[in-house]
Amino acid sequence: MMTTGFLDFVRRKFKNDDYAGDEFGGAAGSDGSGFPTGSPGNFLFATGIECSYPTIENGRVRRDQLAECGHYERWREDLALVKELGLRVLRYGLPYYRIHLGPGRYDWEFADQAMAEMRRLGITPILDLMHFGVPDWIGNFQNPELPMHFAEYAGAVAGRYPWVRHYTPINEIYVTARVSARDGLWNEQLRSDAAYVTATKHLVAASILATHRIALRRPDGIIVQSESAEYTHEARSAPTFEVALRNKLRFLALDLLYAFPPDADVFLFLMDNGMTREEYDWFMRGEPPGYQIMGNDYYGRNERILLPDGTTTSAEDVLG
């Protein structure tokens, strides 16, 4: 049975599934070229405002952290507090699901107000474009049209706010895919390897295509990727294949994002769970454009010890 994959939608919409690689490369500094000089202006000390918005209960409930903390009502006060703290850089998540109403349709009212205030206050935003959720009309991360729609959204954001240089296209792809499609907690709430591979390839493709759309608008764009650094230790003398594979899969999103061939176990896992050879070759063909910064999020709970009885406990700082 033939199925329509994400590459079919990308080719139909964008005519060409190639992306530019490092055509728009560059680095830090005033003009986006060369390496950092070491001047204080090249060090960004930032804060951020929590902006997750996954759905739960089979999509019936959306956990919008900006709403739950009152930011939509007190955004002006929150931004003033950033300024008062003396911070010049803010990782900030525009609510993707509230802005992108459909293909080519957007509601910019809240975004325009918040972005204008940041610009007035002299705050440099690192725009977080997708944080654990998508608009209702897209559904979830199993939708093969996601990369195409998200790329259009990213291009629209970059076109509307041309003064913005820093972006995180998709926050923590590994966590997004795992929790939604393998752990069964968010969004599609599935628990299968095939669903996990599907979510991963759609999210990575969405990030690559979105980065390309941003680079077309902002050739000196700085892409601040964010991924979770996790590890499971086994309290046994010989690790099991399942846990060893799980530890390798924590790098899967980054492998596909940066065209780094994964090891044989991971490659076979991809082939066994729905990735086609054509899709794999597409990911391996080049690197996402722009100047890329790879950020790793580490929390103590990210390291776990798997005990013989099947329970886990926090490991904290074994690898650190």
Q: What percent of the chain has pLDDT over 90?
A: 72
| 1 inside domain | no
What's 159's domain CATH number? 3.20.20.80
| 298 inside domain | yes
| 50 inside domain | yes
What global pTM score does this model have? 0.92
Pick the closest to residue 175 from 302, 275, 303 (CA basis): 302
| 26 inside domain | yes
**What mean pLDDT comes out for the span 133-147?**
98
Residue 281's pLDDT band, with cuts at 50, 70 and 90, is: very high
Residue 18's pLDDT band, with cuts at 50, 70 and 90, is: low
- Predicted confidence at residue 25, as pLDDT, reads 42
**What mean pLDDT comes out for the span 71-79?**
98
Mean pLDDT of the chain: 90
Residue 33's pLDDT band, with cuts at 50, 70 and 90, is: very low
- Predicted confidence at residue 42, as pLDDT, reads 63
215-238 pLDDT per residue, tens: 889 888 899 999 998 999 999 888
For the chain, what percentages of helix, strand and coil (3-state, to nearest 5) are there?
A: 40, 15, 45
- Predicted confidence at residue 275, as pLDDT, reads 97
Distances (CA, A) of 1 to 141, 143, 146, 164, 275: 22, 18, 22, 45, 15
Distances (CA, A) of 24 to 218, 221, 290: 9, 8, 5
Q: How many domains does the chain have?
A: 1
Tokens describing residue 160? 């509307």
Pick the closest to residue 283 from 175, 170, 169, 207 (CA basis): 207
Distances (CA, A) of 195 to 179, 189, 192, 198, 200: 11, 10, 5, 5, 9
Residue 199's pLDDT band, with cuts at 50, 70 and 90, is: very high
CA distance 70 to 89: 21
**What mean pLDDT comes out for the span 82-105?**
96
| 319 inside domain | no
Number of residues written out for the chain: 320
**What mean pLDDT comes out for the span 290-297?**
86
| 320 inside domain | no
DSSP state of 91: E
Farthest-apart Cα atoms in the chain, separation: 60
Buried b (16+ CB within 10 A) or exposed e, 184-196: eebbbbbeebebb
Min mean pLDDT across 17-26, 82-91, 286-295 is at 17-26
Q: Which domain does 43 fall in, by range?
A: 6-314
